[in-house]
Chains A and B, each alone.
Chain A
């Protein structure tokens, strides 16, 4: 989930850059800044998607040793994040530190990167798939049958969205993908599935702003990977409520 968080942060940053460029920079400066950022994002996505095989196939021994050493060092520090993300963060600091500093948003990024580097994280990130159904049960006035019905409908909606997203991505129909995301968003918020909700918000942003199929495919993949965890959490939370 940390890699996804990094990409979410980058998308947010991209939005900030858009706002900033329209207020403070000349058109040319804003254009160059935006292009640079998009180039960085594209590189980061490629790095994130790189398979470990491509690293192993490297013929350069010293590079491989360095890579392995860095992997070991990094995986010890933080086992959940992969080497590509680590490299991307390092590259981000090298290439964009100054730009971010100029934009006066380096402090926030540094803090987030620091947390990732140190393997620390806040409670929200740790509990992304923890769901509290007690609030929804209150809204259901304690009716467990209705709560079960809502969970079933929620799962049906999520599965439908996953299917629809796949089709719309294949046809690069961003308007329909945006619409499908819009339709499911309220249900995700209602069921307090924050992780999935955040992904869907990013999908909507992606459909409206950059319309990058690769990025959207990645976000949909995140949703598909996150959903089974959410479903499991929902089931556990329901069982817990039943036992109480």
Chain B
């Protein structure tokens, strides 16, 4: 069985290291990108099965990423947004742009794994 490709867009190396490790252990083919520019470059060559992205990223925010995937790439792949507590307005905007789910920081890797699996099962 081929592994599902997951793009992790997160500029916080601390959080990314833990999530990268747990998602890989969870059986996903994880590609980590630390800023919006790298994310865009990656998406130009590969379309993952799911994206997990922080909202606040250098160069290209999580919001811009959702709009880019939905409008320019015309893709409906699941996108899970990572947001800080107190950023409810951003979360609402993300849903309006087409995000499928969100998870608050500090992120529980176990919870993220459940949410990723749920989104992939929907498709």
Residues of A bordering B, CB below 8 Å: 139-141, 143, 146, 149-150, 153-154, 156-157, 179, 182-183, 185-187, 189-191
Whether B84 and A150, one on each chain, are in contact in the complex, defined by CB atoms closer than 8 angstroms, is no
Q: A186-B12, A186-B84 are in contact. Are A149 and B17 (CB under 8 A)?
A: yes
Q: How far is the CB of B104 from chain A (nearest CB, A)?
A: 9
Q: Which listed residue, A139, A154, A185, touches B84 by the CB 8 Å rule?
A: A185
Whether A146 and B84, one on each chain, are in contact in the complex, defined by CB atoms closer than 8 angstroms, is no
Q: B106 — which chain A residues lie within 8 A by C-beta?
A: 186, 189-190
Give chain B interface residues in 66-103, CB to chain A under 8 Å.
Answer: 84
Which A-chain residue is minimally distant from B10 (CB atoms)?
Answer: A186
Interface range for B: 10 to 19
Alpha-carbon distance A38/B6, docked complex (angstroms): 50
Which B-chain residue is minimally distant from A157 (CB atoms)?
Answer: B14
Q: How far is the CB of B82 from chain A (nearest CB, A)?
A: 9
Q: How far is the CB of A40 from chain B (nearest CB, A)?
A: 27
Alpha-carbon distance A191/B25, docked complex (angstroms): 21
Give chain B interface residues in 18-55, CB to chain A under 8 Å.
Answer: 18, 21-22, 25
Q: Which listed residue, B17, B25, B109, touches A153 by the CB 8 Å rule?
A: B17
Whether A187 and B22, one on each chain, are in contact in the complex, defined by CB atoms closer than 8 angstroms, is no
Q: B4 — which chain A residues lie within 8 A by C-beta?
A: none
Q: B21 — which chain A residues lie within 8 A by C-beta?
A: 140-141, 143, 146
Whether B56 and A150, one on each chain, are in contact in the complex, defined by CB atoms closer than 8 angstroms, is no
Q: Which listed residue, B11, B17, B22, B108, touches A141 by the CB 8 Å rule?
A: B22
Q: B17 — which chain A residues lie within 8 A by C-beta?
A: 146, 149-150, 153
Whether A139 and B22, one on each chain, are in contact in the complex, defined by CB atoms closer than 8 angstroms, is yes
9 extra A-B contacts, CB within 8 A, seeds A141-B22, A153-B13, A190-B106:
A139-B108, A140-B18, A143-B21, A146-B18, A183-B11, A186-B106, A189-B106, A190-B15, A190-B18
Q: A141 — which chain B residues lie within 8 A by C-beta?
A: 21-22, 25
Whether B84 and A182, one on each chain, are in contact in the complex, defined by CB atoms closer than 8 angstroms, is yes
